[in-house]
Chain A
């Protein structure tokens, strides 16, 4: 399994690449790549997406095409005319508008599919581990919430059953009251117990420490720099490059503030995951696609307006898009290596168990 950070970069790269083009050929390449990666890497995972990308596409593509066709009356290939007295929708329905709408729907499907894969392949505990040290309290809140969700769901079930035994039936929203209020109160009782336990273990001992002045000042400088750079970017196209540089400086300043805040937080990992060659390889593949998507905007550009034309396809760009396929290649290679591994190796009998205690 790849590192959660690699999967995050992979999903972001897919988002950037999909947002950069409306060419159906590149979108299809991206969609196929995402589906292959999903099929290879997410097949054995326990977490299932609430909606499959195929189902999403079956809704998003026709809806987007219909909405675009009804509301945009650009394009030369007229399919039919709607009476002009119909507000907003009256006018020519064109093939170009239908096509552009469908392409928008396909782009949305690619983004949805990429984040579905990300959600499926990265366990929640790995996502929480991604939380920077500076947000360790936020991480604790998230951990508590995620730990309490199954308990709260079980409590809901128990309360519903108990109320049903008393003859209570849910018919309207008011009938939820005898269920929701006990659920809330039992949750708050657990919070009370948890808070007492945390205070008893010394959690509250450092809560009164204020944010250092230096960190606050850095955050303010970072936010002001971001704001200045961004306003320059928006209001004058000629300042784009320096504005992006100013934004980057602002982002780095906030990054430094977060790093400084996190330095004071002790962080221990029970079982650290080591970075592998496969992670680096997958990251390299993402970098290739990202650079191509950012620098090859002209090659990726396509518009069906005013007359529908065949999109062009640059094989090099297509090849660069396949960089997103690397996680699937790494997974297949690992599975292959595991299948061909010597059966005596790693069975736990020939080696001493590896245990280590960190007294730091």
Chain B
């Protein structure tokens, strides 16, 4: 029952977040226009508030279910590690939209699962925003999108495990590979492809929240009631003209970073994942002593 409720919270906050980004594609004709030009900016402000609330709701759920001392410590240190990379980005401007933070977020999600990946994405953007002075109305969107990148990396990791199980081959070889937590070249290639897609997707998603309110030539701007196909075509043109080159730098940067770092980072994280599986159990005599003391 609890799993079902947890899943419903994921689904609802995810739906709210997705709709927050793509609602202009489905809004009824004229609904925004009828409110008048003076209220044109109401919807983006309201949307920013809703995105913030859905992030908050999801965080309440995630915190209540997973955050043990080990997760808290691991997450804190990995967020610090990634935030230092963001420092490098601020200090030495990188080409286009390239940011070295996405590689570690994707790798952490891939190794530790979707929940950890989501928390890693949101907290990395929040912590680095705090230390680099990057707090602003854009932050909830950045947190949500980076969280999704981490969450989907977790799903990719699970899919990869499932595929390895289904692949033909001797069972003992698979077991040996699992015990060694080895990373194959195929894993790295899949991760690079995933990083490339998220490099483009991050920019495309972050554009959508302001695109409906941008004024421009008819071939690039949204109008109420033009239909899904036309809207997608116009957004495609807008994206190609304004963002593609910028986002390509991020996508290619992610690929280069993952090619260089994925194998050693996954090996290191896997090693520590096994070490983090310690359990503290009090002995019977300790407990009796405590009871007597009380």
The answer to whether A156 and B84 touch across the interface, beta carbons within 8 angstroms, is yes
The answer to whether A235 and B9 touch across the interface, beta carbons within 8 angstroms, is no
Q: Hey, which chain B residues are within 8 Å of A141, CB to CB?
A: 67, 72, 75-76, 79, 119, 123
Prevailing SS type, chain A contact patch? helix
In the complex the two chains form, what is the Cα distance from A20 to B42 in whole Å? 8
The answer to the question of B159 belonging to the interface, with a C-beta cut-off of 8 Å to chain A, is no
In the complex the two chains form, what is the Cα distance from A322 to B54 in whole Å? 33
The answer to whether B60 and A195 touch across the interface, beta carbons within 8 angstroms, is no
The answer to the question of B177 belonging to the interface, with a C-beta cut-off of 8 Å to chain A, is no
The answer to the question of A140 belonging to the interface, with a C-beta cut-off of 8 Å to chain B, is yes
Q: If the complex has contacts A153-B84, A216-B61, are A145 and B5 also in contact, measured as CB distance less than 8 A?
A: no
Interface residue from A116, A144, A234, A244 paired with B80 (Cβ < 8 Å): A144
In the assembled complex, the CB of B80 is this many whole angstroms from the nearest CB of chain A, namely 4
Q: Hey, which chain A residues are within 8 Å of B38, CB to CB?
A: 297-298, 300-301
Total residues of chain A contacting the partner, CB 8 A: 101
The answer to the question of A242 belonging to the interface, with a C-beta cut-off of 8 Å to chain B, is no
In the complex the two chains form, what is the Cα distance from A72 to B59 in whole Å? 42
The answer to the question of B164 belonging to the interface, with a C-beta cut-off of 8 Å to chain A, is no
In the assembled complex, the CB of A60 is this many whole angstroms from the nearest CB of chain B, namely 14
The answer to whether A254 and B53 touch across the interface, beta carbons within 8 angstroms, is yes
The answer to whether B77 and A112 touch across the interface, beta carbons within 8 angstroms, is no
Q: Hey, which chain A residues are within 8 Å of B127, CB to CB?
A: 142, 145-146, 149
Can you spell out 21 A-B residue pairs with CB atoms less than 8 angstroms apart?
Answer: A19-B41, A71-B220, A119-B135, A124-B131, A134-B63, A138-B59, A138-B123, A141-B72, A141-B75, A141-B123, A142-B76, A191-B77, A199-B69, A219-B57, A226-B54, A227-B19, A234-B23, A235-B28, A254-B56, A261-B64, A297-B39
Q: Name B residues whose Cβ lies closer than 8 Å to a Cβ of A.
A: 2, 5-6, 8-9, 12-13, 15-16, 19, 23, 27-28, 30-32, 34-35, 37-39, 41, 43-46, 49-50, 53-54, 56-57, 59-61, 63-65, 67-70, 72-81, 83-84, 87, 90, 119, 123, 126-127, 130-137, 215-217, 219-220, 237, 241, 256-257, 260-261, 264-265, 268-269, 272, 275-276, 278, 280
